[in-house]
Chains A and B, each alone.
Chain A
Amino acid sequence: ETGVTQTPRHLVMGMTNKKSLKCEQHLGHNAMYWYKQSAKKPLELMFVYSLEERVENNSVPSRFSPECPNSSHLFLHLHTLQPEDSALYLCASSHVGGTGTRYGYTFGSGTRLTVV
């Protein structure tokens, strides 16, 4: 399997639930990203992992907790979410260093999250 795979594709959760989103890439990339895409809003960069270290956290509430156990896997752990957290969560990967990022990111298909 190639590309960036996100699971699940759809998730409905209550505000008291704990769930995790998973992202996996088989491209040999060494950086991974979480984005949030809400209706009628620009793409929001949430977290950046480069060489398995978190290098960016854009003021994301603590109810979102990322984990990057290795360069191929990225998780987003969710707990006590709010209805306004309902959105499409996109994972992406790239190769950093050298001229890698000049070739852009590869995105997954996203997880459509609904918080009820």
Chain B
Amino acid sequence: GNSVTQMEGPVTLSEEAFLTINCTYTATGYPSLFWYVQYPGEGLQLLLKATKADDKGSNKGFEATYRKETTSFHLEKGSVQVSDSAVYFCALSNFGNEKLTFGTGTRLTIIP
């Protein structure tokens, strides 16, 4: 079946640091891959997505590249801000299986 593995949190960084949150997946076929972000007290928001191999999703300075050879979709940002503090979820969906499979989430805290 499908599964998503994210790096364990929490992650604490200083403002302007470089961010990487690792995500690897197991799935049959050609899944779509997503990063969702959850700010305190809110629901999940779609941050970025990639629907085929080698696609790069990007939004708000965040990027992730769909790497089929390593089954990975790592989230990166070159210079984080305090406002990026949130929980980040990696997820996948497979064509024909309508259910999203989520990772466990990684809590990110940025300190000034």
The answer, yes or no, to whether B88 is at the interface (CB within 8 Å) is: no
Interface-facing stretch out of A14-22, A60-68, A70-78, A102-110 = A102-110
Instruction: List, in ascending order, chain B residues with CB within 8 A of A99's CB.
Output: 95
8 A Cβ contacts from A71-116 to B: 90, 92, 94, 96, 99, 101-110, 112
A46 within 8 A of B: no
Q: A90 contacts B99, CB within 8 Å?
A: no
B interface residues, how many (CB within 8 angstroms)? 22
B residues sitting closer than 8 Å to A (CB atoms) are 32, 34, 36, 41-46, 49, 51, 89, 91, 93, 95, 97-100, 102, 104-105
Closest 8 pairs between A and B when the two form their complex, measured CB to CB: A107-B43, A102-B32, A107-B44, A96-B98, A109-B43, A110-B43, A42-B104, A104-B34
* 27 cross-chain CB contacts under 8 A: A4-B43, A31-B98, A42-B102, A42-B104, A45-B99, A50-B98, A56-B99, A90-B43, A92-B44, A101-B32, A102-B95, A103-B32, A103-B49, A103-B51, A104-B32, A104-B34, A104-B91, A104-B93, A105-B46, A105-B100, A107-B36, A107-B45, A108-B43, A109-B42, A109-B43, A110-B43, A112-B41
